[in-house]
Amino acid sequence: MSKKANGEKEADPLPEISKKDYDDTLYKLQVELVKLQRHFIKCGDKILIIFEGRDAAGKDGTIKRITAHLSPRETRVVALGKPSDRDRSSWYFQRYTPYLPAAQELVLFNRSWYNRAGVERVMGFCTDAEYQEFISSVPEFEHMLVHSGIKLLKYYLDISKSEQEKRLEDRKKDPLAQWKISALDEYAIKKWKEYSLARDKMLAHTHSLSTPWTVVHADNKELARINIIKDLLSRLDYKDKDERLVMPDKRVVTSFDTSFIEEGLLAS
């Protein structure tokens, strides 16, 4: 760690990676993912991976690299849209439970029930009472999932304000990325500080030993993708694992600690 001008710690600078090294490493990691899938199908494992982060943090791209060569029968990506009137009148987690993994399945949530602690909180789409109920009940809900045999991994992709601004502008210019444009994009920058505060509270209140958060410093998309895959492979059991290949760079992915907030190690 180095020091900022105000004396706070800041993350060490991230390494660079060439396109060739990225492509070669990604290919090897995708082979490991196929090994993982072969294993969890054989053993009947249930794996759930949650991806959270600001708009344009890189969730879509990471999920695409994870699922690219996996069997679609046992792999599902869940990205729910705006809740219906029925959803809003139901138990909050009810909307998500139909999508939880059964045996032999890998499910990836591109945003999840943590919408309540993020966009809903910041944009006023939920009441204070609904937010407080969520914050108090989500640890118990996730403990039930783990106790039922689901292997739960939670990743928060953290990017800087300048990087988010750049990515949102690039999105507007890319004719192939128009589906990503949202009416809420303009608020991503306008309410940057509010989103930072919501993130900090969410991580601090919902991180635990049984369902920890892993923070990803994601300004470099390629490094983020590779190290997320390494991290999840390192934490899941499967046969013939290449242990050296799947060691993540702790400068890119690391288990959340409340000191990250106190010492200003998250984008703010």
Asked if the structure places residue 63 within a domain, the reply is yes
Domain ranges, residue 50: 2-80+95-262
14 secondary structure, DSSP code:
P
CATH code: domain of residue 7: 3.40.50.300
Q: What is the pTM of this model?
A: 0.95
Asked if the structure places residue 88 within a domain, the reply is no
Give the total number of structural domains in the chain. Answer: 1
CA 181 to chain centre: 19
Asked if the structure places residue 220 within a domain, the reply is yes
User: Can you give the pLDDT of all 268 residues of the chain as single tens digits?
Assistant: 444 444 445 556 777 899 999 999 999 999 999 999 999 999 999 999 999 999 999 999 999 999 999 999 999 999 999 999 999 999 999 999 999 999 999 999 999 999 999 999 999 999 999 999 999 999 999 999 999 999 999 999 999 999 999 999 999 999 999 999 998 899 999 999 999 999 999 999 999 999 999 999 999 999 999 999 999 999 999 999 999 999 999 999 999 999 999 999 999 9
Distances from the Cα of 216 to the Cα of 88, 91, 122, angstroms: 31, 31, 22
Asked if the structure places residue 236 within a domain, the reply is yes
Asked if the structure places residue 59 within a domain, the reply is yes
Asked if the structure places residue 267 within a domain, the reply is no
Tokens standing for residue 133:
């109920």
Asked if the structure places residue 167 within a domain, the reply is yes
- Using DSSP's 3-state secondary structure scheme, residue 81 falls into coil
Buried b (16+ CB within 10 A) or exposed e, 50-62: bbbbbbbbbbbeb
Asked if the structure places residue 90 within a domain, the reply is no
